[in-house]
A = this chain, B = another copy of it.
Amino acid sequence: MSKQALLIIADGMGDNPIPMLNDLTPLEYADTPHLNALASKGLFGNVYPVKPGVPVGTDVGHLAIFGYDPYEIYTGRGPIEAYGAGIDLHPSDIAFRGNFATVDDELMVIDRRAGRINQNTEELAQAVDGIMLSNGARVIARALSAHRVAIVIRGKNLSEHVTTTDPGTTREGKRVQQSVALKEDSDSIETARVINELTEKMYAVLSLHPINQQRIIEGLPPANMILLRGVGREIQAPKMTESFGIRGACVAGDRTVLGIARMAGLDVFHRESFTAGYDTDYIGKAELALSKLKEGYDWVVLHIKAPDLAGHDCQPMTKASTASKLDKMAGYILQRLDLEHCYIGYTSDHSTPCERRDHSGDPVPTFFAGDDVRTLPIEDFGEKYLVHGALNNLTALDFFHIQMDHLGAVKKLGA
């Protein structure tokens, strides 16, 4: 029987020394006996998401984890959000990352996230879905989590060389931006025109929508606009699972991660209790991942979003507690898996240092344990102890190939 592998992804877990944690990182501070034991049974190191000193988004970090070179294939966040929403992109589509927002009748932005709306967004997206534009193109809209929404324009002669309409993260009080062509060809000029037409039509449909009328009555900001950014086209890359001839499964709650996994050819598995929040169902995910291994998947990825949230929220103790919970989950898995038949890996898409409240270009703690993997002793699990490992300073893409090589899925170069 050929071997299998389980990869645990702790989103944003990498961090830097924090005074509140005695100048340790959350991972160094937390009690992680199972991660320690696993790291000592294989390769370990701090691995760069793409290259030293380059911070990446969740999307790019996961593209690399799933075996893609983001510098080659990344075309913008829009397509990733579309995959996350379950939209199968066509080559001629352009896709956007959208935000429900509140604007006034002169399209001045009052709230970029419509009061962080998190109810009834599916109905609002449905009101926009199917809008026809004057060039014959049709709009596809699907609600994502909270105020987020995937927008696709499907038609002919569309160009991604256009500016988008979101005035930016810190500029409430500015008008929804006019889309402008970034190239002088007629496709780009025409595409900018229909994006502006879409802005007008979305306002017309959304501002009159009963859900928004009700929100106004309740004193809530109406979600009467969708701000667009991250325009891009379908990612023109073969499914990783086909390139490597493996069956892959992804167990996650985060829509973006599920979307990238689907694009990469993994079957995706999601449950209501996988919240992509602090309260996510660690053991439920572990159980589901184990069941996918039993079903014969070669490579099963299990994603936990919580550490990233704690980094953005600057909550070191909370972040350390996500490490402890993750360690307990690893222990649960370790009791039920035999390293003789299944490798266990661990990594992150990027570091989200609490003090920065955002992603950094630091490398991320990583290991790959298994029966026939080269080993080294390790003192404890955490950034400072991993520097001496064999994986140190490699990249996420290297790490992907190392996993695939152990599964026997990398073609020999030469003969």
- Enumerate chain A interface residues (CB-CB to B < 8 A): 16-18, 23, 25, 46, 50-61, 63, 70, 74, 77, 97, 230, 353, 355-356, 358-363, 372-376, 383-384, 387-390, 392-394, 398-406, 408, 410, 412-415
A18 to B399, CA, bound (A): 22
Q: How far is the CB of A85 from chain B (nearest CB, A)?
A: 16
A403 touches B60 (CB 8 A): no
Residue of B nearest to A28 (CB): B374
For the complex with contacts A56-B412, A360-B405, 7 further pairs of A-B residues with Cβ separation under 8 Å are A57-B412, A60-B413, A70-B413, A358-B412, A362-B374, A363-B390, A387-B389
Residues of B within 8 A of A17 (CB): 372-375
Q: How far is the CB of A357 from chain B (nearest CB, A)?
A: 11
A361 touches B401 (CB 8 A): yes
Q: How far is the CB of A371 from chain B (nearest CB, A)?
A: 8
Given A361-B405, A362-B374: A57 in contact with B413 (beta carbons within 8 A): yes
Residues of B within 8 A of A363 (CB): 390
B57 touches A414 (CB 8 A): yes
Residues of B within 8 A of A54 (CB): 401, 405, 410, 413
Which one, B53, B59, B414, contacts A58 given CB within 8 A? B414
Residues of B within 8 A of A393 (CB): 390, 392-394
Residues of B within 8 A of A375 (CB): 17, 23, 384
Residues of B within 8 A of A51 (CB): 398, 401
Of listed A46, A54, A353, residue having the most chain B CB within 10 A? A54
